[in-house]
Structure 1
Amino acid sequence: MTSRGIVISDLTVGYDGPPVLDQVSLQVSSGGTVAVLGPSGSGKTTLLRALAGFVRPAQGRIEVDGKVLTGGPVLVAPERRGIGYVRQDGALFPHLDVTGNILFGLPRAERRRATQVGPLLELVGLSPSLARRRPDQLSGGQQQRVALARALAREPAVVLLDEPFSSLDTALRAATREATLTALTQRGATTVLVTHDQAEALSFADRIAVIFDGRIAQIGSPAEVYDAPATPEVGSFLGDTMLLAGQAAGGIVDCVLGTLELAEPATGKVLVMVRPEQVVLGDPSGPTAHVVSVAYQGPDAMVRLNLPNTAARLMARVPGRRAPQPGDEVGLAVPDPVRSFPDSPILPISG
């Protein structure tokens, strides 16, 4: 199987109203994995539906491996695109067993080759002994893996995943996600995952496209979009963050947490972005804060703090076994460089 790269250019899609996608451009390298991350209603699933050929864009172009699938008068039918699609609910046929579900999408002449079902089940981390079970005899995670096996049965070069893990519990979600990524990597498939789960996107994909209100806000590696967000909105959406007023001068900034080092030089009034994991507790050289509450989460704990004589509400993420107690007074420090943005109003993110 030859993997295919995806090129989306100036894609605009609407449903009898304002555009759901507004001039979206995105490239997915051959064999790469991109997570499209955004709040509900941002246009994530519409992007997948346009890629799959389920909707016709108002304008724009979609190419896979140099072949135009959508553009101008061209609209290749979904079944002729060579694209596998895994929906949130798996969409297995309840009256068919696992073998029947996996083989369903194949041409009729190939459905008799049931011998390929076992290897496909093993590929997605399932035992071939499940081949004769019906969907209602499988766990949610097993059903999603069968849905992936069905999508891979036709050896598609492109696989689209529409929030396929969101209905699973935490432990099952992680195991199913890992098995899915392993199977897609072994097949060399080019993959687009749609999700609103930040941790899922960061752990699954090579690159992340953050989308707000039908427009791409930032594209980059997981480390780039998390550690160097393009806007305060992207930074806040990708995880807990504090945005503090500051005065920058070159490589340093003064704010309620003291004088901090900047990752990039700036001048004048800025918003300083500090993630809770950047805050170190117990440093006597920094300001002293009052511990308001501690949310214990096992491996770590989220500590909420107040600084005397300020309106600042701060957070620190610390190892769970080292968490202070509510009412404690602790010193604060931020030893690592922080990001800053021009001081301007933060736009609300819906969803």
Structure 2
Amino acid sequence: MTSAGITISDLTVGYGGPPVLDGVSLQVRPGGTLAVLGPSGSGKTTLLRALAGFVRPATGRIEIGDKLLTDGQVLVAPERRGVGYVRQDGALFPHLDVTGNILFGLTRSERRRATQVGPLLELVGLSPDLAKRRPDELSGGQQQRVALARALAREPAVVLLDEPFSSLDTALRAATREATLTALRERGATTVLVTHDQAEALSFADQVAVMLNGRFAQIGSPEEVYDAPVTAEVGAFLGDIMLLPGCADGRIVDCVLGKLDLAEPSTGEVLVMVRPEQLTLGTPSGLTARVVSAAYHGPDAMLRLDLTDTATRLVARVPGHNAPHPGDLVGIAVPGPVRSFPKPGLLRPQHAADENPQA
């Protein structure tokens, strides 16, 4: 299999009404892994369908490697794009066994290349002994891996994954995701994963594109989009945040949590973004807060805190084994740099504190 990059330029797609994708552009390096993350209705699946050739864009270009797929005049058929597509439900044929499902739709020459179904099953972390089983004799995770093996049987340069793990339970989802990523890297396929699961996107891909309202709000590495969101809206979508009023002067911002270092210089009134895991708790001294509630999650716990002598509600994520209890008084510090946004921000202050910490 030869890896091929993806180039999308000024792509607009609609279904007769307002555009679902509104002039999006994107590049994925050959062999790279991109996660497209966004809420329901933001245009994620439409982007995959346009890449696969299932919908015709109104404007824009799509190229895979040096092959033009569409530019408003050209429209290459789905079967000629060199793209594998794995849907959320796997879409296996119930009357065919695993071998029949993997080989379904291949040409005679492709079938000769893929006659060894066993290695394909091993590639996706399944035993070749499953080759004669039917889909109803497989677990949900096994069915998704068979769907991936079917997509890889054509030796596509690009594999598109449309929320393929969302119907699986937590442990099975993690194991299936890891097996899928290993198989795709083994083949060197360029991969685009669509998901609304923030943790999945950040752990799966080497590049994350946050899609809001049919546009890319930010594209970057997982660390960049999480630690340095370009807007408060992006920051909140990727995880809990608190937005606190502050006054910035260069690399220092003064807010209810004291004078904090800024990751990027700013001046004037701002909203300071603090994530729950940035708060560290200790013995009561200096800045203190009282624990209002604690939600224990095993590895960690989410705490609601009331900052002493203010009306400020905070949320902290701390290790579960030594989490304080409701009513405890704790000291608070923010050791690392924080981000800020111009005031007014896109979200009201204390966003995370207003959410249920168990959610």
Q: Same fold by TM-score, threshold 0.5 exceeded?
A: yes
Shift in alpha-carbon separation, 1:208–1:157, aligned structure 2, 3 A: same
Residues 231, 346 of structure 2: 8 Å contact kept: no
Partner of 2:275: 275
Counterpart amino acid of 2:138?
A: L
Tell me the TM-score normalized by structure 1: 0.97
State the SS of the aligned residue for 1:111. Answer: helix
Partner of 1:235: 235
CA distance, structure 1, for counterparts of residue 315 and residue 3 of structure 2: 44
Shift of 1:109: 4.8
Q: For structure 1, list consecutive stretches of 5 or more residues without a partner in the other structure.
A: none
| Residue 77 (str. 1) matches residue 48 (str. 2) | no
CA distance, structure 2, for counterparts of residue 277 and residue 347 of structure 1: 19
State the SS of the aligned residue for 2:240. Answer: coil
Partner of 1:49: 49
Of stretches 260-269 and 89-98 in structure 1, the one that deviates more from structure 2 is: 260-269
State the SS of the aligned residue for 2:346. Answer: coil
Partner of 2:357: none
CA distance, structure 2, for counterparts of residue 343 and residue 129 of structure 1: 61
Counterpart amino acid of 1:162?
A: D
Shift in alpha-carbon separation, 1:342–1:154, aligned structure 2, 3 A: same
Partner of 2:351: none
String of CA shifts for 1:21-73, please: whole Å, max 9, x gaps.
Answer: 00000000000000000000000000000000000011000001121101121
Shift in alpha-carbon separation, 1:317–1:103, aligned structure 2, 3 A: same
Of stretches 283-292 and 146-155 in structure 1, the one that deviates more from structure 2 is: 283-292
| Residue 138 (str. 1) matches residue 138 (str. 2) | yes
Counterpart amino acid of 1:14?
A: G
Partner of 1:2: 2
Shift in alpha-carbon separation, 1:200–1:319, aligned structure 2, 3 A: same
Written as runs of structure 1 = structure 2, the 5 A alignment for 1:1-351 is 1-111=1-111, 115-282=115-282, 284-346=284-346
CA distance, structure 1, for counterparts of residue 244 and residue 72 of structure 2: 48
Shift of 1:106: 1.1
Residues 286, 333 of structure 1: 8 Å contact kept: no
Shift of 1:175: 0.2
CA distance, structure 1, for counterparts of residue 190 and residue 113 of structure 2: 26
State the SS of the aligned residue for 2:191. Answer: strand
Residues 99, 114 of structure 1: 8 Å contact kept: no
Question: How many residue pairs get matched?
Answer: 348
The RMSD of aligned alpha carbons is 1.3
Residues 105, 150 of structure 1: 8 Å contact kept: no
CA distance, structure 1, for counterparts of residue 249 and residue 190 of structure 2: 45
Shift of 1:283: 5.0
CA distance, structure 2, for counterparts of residue 36 and residue 4 of structure 1: 18
Q: For structure 2, list consecutive stretches of 5 or more residues without a partner in the other structure.
A: 349-359
